[in-house]
Amino acid sequence: RKDGKTEEANAIVDPAKNGVWFEEEYRRTYPYNTLACDVIGFVQTGNEGQYGLEEYYNDTLNGTNGRSYGYLNADGTLTRTVKEAEDGYTLVTSLDTNIQAIAEKHIKEFAEENRNAYRTGPAADNVGVIIMDPNSGEILAMAGYPVFNLNDPQNMEGVDLVQYAGLLSTEDLARAIGLTDLQESVSDNEVSGNEVSGNEVSENIARGISGISINGIPITAISANKAELLELVTNESLSDNGIIKNAVWKNFCISDTFEPGSTMKPFTVAGAIDDARITGNETYVCNGALDVGEHTIHCHNRFGDGPLTVKQGIAKSCNVVLMNVAFAMGKSEWLRYNRNFGFGSYTGIDLAGESSGASNTFNERMGQTDLAVASFGQGFNVSMIQMAAGFSALVNGGRYYKPHLVTRVVNNEGAIVREYDPKVVKQIISEEVSDIIRDDCNAVVMSDPEECTGWTARPAGYTMGGKTGTAEKLPRAAKNYLISFMGYVPADDPQVLCYVVIDHPNHPDQSNSTRLATLLCRDIMTEVLPYLNIFPTLELTEKERAELTDAQASFFIGSDAVSQNSAMTVVSENSVSENGAETSEAADGADAQYTPNVIQYDPGTGYPIDPNTGELLDPVTLQPVDQNVKSDLEY
């Protein structure tokens, strides 16, 4: 037994049977079940960490077993030495349970609302959200979908596994749906050392399928086409597949890479200005396309936007403007800044399973066409964590912070063993250039709707900057897209950054579905910002007041958001506990207590209300305001 009930177990053992006893062992439990499962990871038999923090900090979290040994001296006396066991340490992280729960809640709502929206299947192939402090590199939340139960990670019940079936080979798909002819044929040939040809595999698959019925109709003839096999798989047939399980367990925010699309445009402009190749005040003419070598590369507005400044090019996400900026910069300098921002390299985040994307980045052999498409984020891969860390540097004054989760390590008495302060790795661009880029990105959200692409991301009452992204995926002929939005608040002094990625959205017009990402960001930030004591500074419209009132009516941080998605064990300041010795009483989350943090707003002014006194608070100073002094309410 591994639940610690040693005395109870020993009581049922026959004392006469010498050599039989029960031993007490530690068992890791996760009181909040699914929350932050991608970040925390889990332990397998032997207390070995798998994925996330558990794997990365396995040696830190695991203690040392005690042991006793001895020897007989010359007179037969036993001399015994006892080495006491040592407890593992506790990780204190920057991850905020409430913010994590908010992010996961809205991702789940998105997934449920958009499932089967246009095509049969999930809302997207992948959805990821990173929320971080751009001024320290601390991760406040990192979420994906679907989630799994950390206390029973092998259990795939409730997880849509069919969406991952495309990861399997034709042979694995055949095995998953029980085509024994194929299994036996391949096995026999492997034993005899013969190679198995593609035709042989196809024939065996076809023979196996001939014994399968769909809705009572037997299949008598079907080609060994992977697409057809995919239609035969079920959750049950995939539940024990290791490839599928790994796909569920991995952390999309750090493990997957993708072409970023237009969220890369501010990076291109930043490098060009910082290297003095442009001033940022230039004007370029967009006619809807640009001829580069033998290729014609189009803008999303094929009719063209006419003369645009660099700032307007960012706000309207004009490819033609960005290609001209990249040409002024040149291949060598574009590559240098791209690498300085960390693309193609590990960020060093303290999580297991990070991908660098190095195999899918440009090098010195890139041509003019490569440079053209790279300027707006096509032709090379990045990860979500690379983008979030790099974009933070764009808007925080040019300082690149190493992204991290663990802030300190403590022992079982609470004494600090190690402390991890925010680490500035390098200054990539000057503060002056960062100011320019921040102003350009503010225009993406704060401009008139017809002049920008990101206005739907702005939470009511807040100033926000950011950048939308629409990346065409490979193969290009399939016309599948990855959409994203990178946003930060407040616009002129970023305190929190939110990056949303939706891979292959379930939408009839994917290339024009960026709104899905901006709205997801807005919904998350509308709840996160008041929780972080970042209050609105803009006058609210009547529509915004109504929306904000509806949102705040159910905004009980820790009560509503967390209790609906109980999952991660966080000791005091969001920690992963040592040695798996958490109390079993809270294993189902039932005993977890949260203090509601209710933020209400006055419908007349849009000002936050002090929950203790009922007074209106100045959104800037957070001091009570005198409602009788008119100027005190005018901003």
Instruction: Give 558-563's long-range contacts (Cβ < 8 A, gap of 24+).
Output: 558/97, 558/98, 558/101, 558/594, 558/595, 558/596, 558/597, 559/594, 559/596, 561/98, 561/101, 561/102, 561/105, 561/527, 562/32, 562/35, 562/97, 562/98, 562/101, 562/592, 562/594, 563/589, 563/594
Using N-to-C axis directions, what is the helix angle for 384-395 and 431-446, rounded to 10°?
A: 110
Q: Which residue has the higher pLDDT, 161 or 557?
A: 161
pLDDT band at 413 (very low <50, low <70, confident <90, very high): confident
Q: Which residue has the higher pLDDT, 174 or 433?
A: 433
> Would you state the torsion angle of the CA atoms of residues 199, 200, 201, 206, taken in this order, to the nearest 10 degrees?
90
Q: Which domains does the chain have, with CATH numbers?
A: 6-88 (3.90.1310), 162-250 (no CATH), 602-635 (no CATH)
Query: For every residue of 253-267, which 3-state class applies, written as one string?
Result: HHHCEECCHHHHHHH
- The Cα 249–Cα 34 span in angstroms is 11
Among 535, 537, 325, 287, residue whose Cα is nearest residue 440: 325
Mean pLDDT over 182-210 rounds to 47
**Lowest-pLDDT choice from 11-25, 160-174, 259-273:** 11-25
User: Which of the given ranges, 168-172, 199-203, 614-618, 625-629, has the highest pLDDT on average?
Assistant: 168-172
Among 484, 486, 479, residue whose Cα is nearest residue 510: 479
Residues 6+ apart with CB under 8 A from 264: 374, 375, 376, 377, 382, 469
Q: Which residue has the higher pLDDT, 598 or 349?
A: 349
- The Cα 588–Cα 585 span in angstroms is 8
Using N-to-C axis directions, what is the helix angle for 515-531 and 542-553, rounded to 10°?
A: 70
Does the structure show a pLDDT above 70 at 633? no
- The Cα 536–Cα 557 span in angstroms is 18
Give per-residue pLDDT as tens, 247-293: 899 999 999 999 999 999 999 999 999 999 999 999 999 999 999 99
- The Cα 363–Cα 498 span in angstroms is 30
Residues 6+ apart with CB under 8 A from 166: 230
| The predicted structure's pLDDT at residue 579 | 31
| The predicted structure's pLDDT at residue 279 | 97
Mean pLDDT over 76-98 rounds to 86
Mean pLDDT over 164-189 rounds to 64
pTM over 0.85, yes/no: no
Query: For every residue of 259-291, which 3-state class applies, written as one string?
Result: CCHHHHHHHHHHHHHHCCCCCCCCEEEECCEEE
Give per-residue pLDDT as tens, 460-474: 999 999 999 999 999
Residues 6+ apart with CB under 8 A from 570: 32, 93, 95, 97
pLDDT band at 223 (very low <50, low <70, confident <90, very high): very low
CA distances from 302 to 287, 318, 319, 415, 613 (A): 7, 10, 10, 62, 56
- The Cα 429–Cα 393 span in angstroms is 8
Contact between 228 and 222 (Cβ < 8 Å): yes
127 three-class SS = strand
